[in-house]
Amino acid sequence: MELRHLRAFEVLAEERHFGRAAARLHLAQPALSQQVRQLERELGVALFARTTRRVDLTEAGRRFAAHARTVLGDVDRASSEMALLASGAAGRAAIGFIGTATYDVLPRVAREVRASLPDLELDLRGELLSPQLLTGLRDRAFDVALVRPDPLNSADLNVRTLRSERLVAVLPTGHPLARRRRIPLAALAGEAFVMHPSGTRSSVHERVRAACEAAGFSPDPVIEVSETATLVVFVAAGLGVALVPEPVRSLGLAGVSYVAVDDAPTIDLALATRLGDDSPAVARVGEIVAACV
């Protein structure tokens, strides 16, 4: 059974006139008649009762019309869905965000994807560390990730730096330096530090430690936490001070002050995807994420 025969039957059933149906289908009238006869032979029933003046559906034709509408509707929906998939407007995309990007980038991405790609199934996860995100990309738990690009091994991924973020000091509001507009990093020598995890679990830890050592001291003691929001809460609780990328200011937690640091180092934020990923949806989402940074 050919789709063109079903479409010919559907239009003729609506028009009840061979001339008008042929015009709608952009067919010659004999060609339309031939297609209908072929369908009737295949089904073994007459679908139309023909007279010189009009064309009516038989009982079999009325019953078959419901089936034809269902099949053609399914085909049209499938075609539309495939067109959306091909254009990247439908499908699924999972995006992971490091802690700082969770606060200022994730909300913008969610709004823009919903507005631009309403048929896309979107999975968003924030407050993750770069090693988790890169592992997730390789394991296909994520399709797009905002990460710290160094010093991680990402030769098997597409990694594009989007911006550099300056580190700022986070101090409890009651700290003697909390009202200063700027401080030298050396002013925090002797303070307890709250930091992201050491080793391969975070790329920020070593950057903060290196900045402190360049300022002439080594952070000690150190409290390690994974989530940036928890880190800031620990500072608010008076458990120490911290250095964080400037976008953390948008977290807006009470009890802390953000203070600029003289000659503060920067840390990059990058967009990572899998090499060879040919999903149009992932490509479109990646561009939206990049535009939101």
C-alpha to C-alpha distance for 11 and 255, rounded to whole angstroms: 70
Other beta carbons within 10 Å of 37 = 14
239: CB partners within 8 A, 6+ apart: 192, 194, 223
Collapsing DSSP to helix, strand or coil, 271 comes out as strand
The residues that bridge with 122 in the sheet, in sequence order, are 93
Q: What is the pLDDT of residue 89?
A: 56
Q: What is the pLDDT of residues 4-40, one digit of tens each?
A: 888 888 888 888 888 888 898 898 988 988 988 988 8
CB-neighbour burial class of residue 277 (10 A; exposed 0-12, middle 13-18, buried 19+) = middle
CA 146 to chain centre: 11
Report the alpha-carbon distance of residue 126 to residue 99 in Å, rounded.
Answer: 6
pLDDT band at 217 (very low <50, low <70, confident <90, very high): very high
Q: In order of start, what are the domains of the chain with their CATH numbers? A: 3-87 (1.10.10.10), 91-162+269-292 (3.40.190.10), 166-266 (3.40.190.10)
Phi, psi of 292 (to 5 degrees): -85, -10
Question: How does residue 90 score in pLDDT terms, banded at 50, 70 and 90?
Answer: low
Tokens of 124: 């968003």
- The DSSP string of 75-139 is HHHHHHHHHHHHHTSSEEEEEEEEHHHHHHTHHHHHHHHHHH-TTEEEEEEEEE-HHHHHHHHHT
Is pLDDT of 238 > 70?
A: yes
Specify the range with the lowest mean pLDDT, choosing from 152-156, 250-254, 284-288.
Answer: 152-156
Across the range 157-178, mean pLDDT stands at: 95
